[in-house]
C-alpha cells in the first residue's frame, strides 16, 4: 500500500499536537497538508478547519489519490462530528491503539479524530500512525455494512 497524503486540521486545543504531527509525519515520508488554523486563537471555531480537511480527503479519494485525514481538538469529539458531516467521510474517534486500528480495518475510516488534551503528543502520534498504517480488511461483512451507510448517506434509505 502506498503512503497516503494526509490532510490535518485542528482547533486551538490541538495546535501543539498538530505542529508536532506535521513535522513527525513529514519526516516519516508522508505528504501532509495543513488545513489550519495558522495561528493560535482561543476563540476559534473548529468546524471550518475540520470540514475543509474532510472535503480534501474526499476530493483526493475521488481523484484516485490515496488520502486520509486527521482532525484534532481538546477531546476530538466535535472535530469528528464536523468531519462526519462531509458526504463520503467516515471519521472515527481513536483513544487507544485498538480503536485506531479497528477504525481502518473494520470501518474503512478515512479520517481519524484524536483529543489533544487526552494524550501526550507521543501517544497521539502512535495512535495516528497505527491508523495511517492499518489497511482495510475488505471482509465482505464490513464492505456490506459500509455500503449500507453509504446508501443511507446518499438516498436516505435504510437497508436491512
Residues 6 or more apart in contact with residue 144 via CB below 8 angstroms? none
Which helix (H) or strand (E) element contains residue 153? helix 140-155
DSSP letters for 41-107: -TT--HHHHHHHHHHHHHHHHHTT--EEEEEEESSSHHHHHHHHTSTT--EEE--SHHHHHHHHHTT
- Determine whether 39 is an active site residue: no
The answer to whether 106 is a known catalytic residue is yes
Question: Which among 7, 12, 24, 79 is annotated as catalytic?
Answer: 79
CA quadruple 143, 149, 132, 130: dihedral, nearest 10: -80
Which residues are tagged catalytic? 79, 106
Amino acid at each position: 500500500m502506498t503512503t497516503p497524503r494526509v490532510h490535518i486540521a485542528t482547533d486551538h486545543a490541538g495546535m501543539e499536537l498538530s505542529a508536532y504531527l506535521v513535522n513527525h509525519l513529514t519526516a516519516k515520508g508522508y505528504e501532509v497538508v495543513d488545513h489550519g488554523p495558522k495561528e493560535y486563537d482561543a476563540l476559534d471555531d473548529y468546524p471550518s478547519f475540520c470540514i475543509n480537511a474532510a472535503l480534501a480527503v474526499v476530493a483526493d479519494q475521488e481523484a484516485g489519490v490515496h488520502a486520509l485525514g486527521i482532525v484534532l481538538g481538546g477531546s476530538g469529539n466535535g472535530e469528528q462530528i464536523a468531519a462526519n458531516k462531509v458526504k463520503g467521510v467516515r471519521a472515527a474517534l481513536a483513544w487507544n491503539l485498538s480503536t485506531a486500528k479497528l477504525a481502518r480495518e473494520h470501518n474503512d475510516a478515512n479520517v481519524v479524530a484524536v483529543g489533544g488534551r487526552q494524550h501526550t503528543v507521543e501517544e497521539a502520534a502512535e495512535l495516528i500512525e497505527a491508523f495511517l498504517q492499518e489497511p482495510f480488511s475488505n471482509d465482505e461483512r464490513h464492505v456490506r455494512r459500509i455500503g449500507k451507510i453509504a446508501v443511507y448517506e446518499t438516498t436516505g434509505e435504510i437497508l436491512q
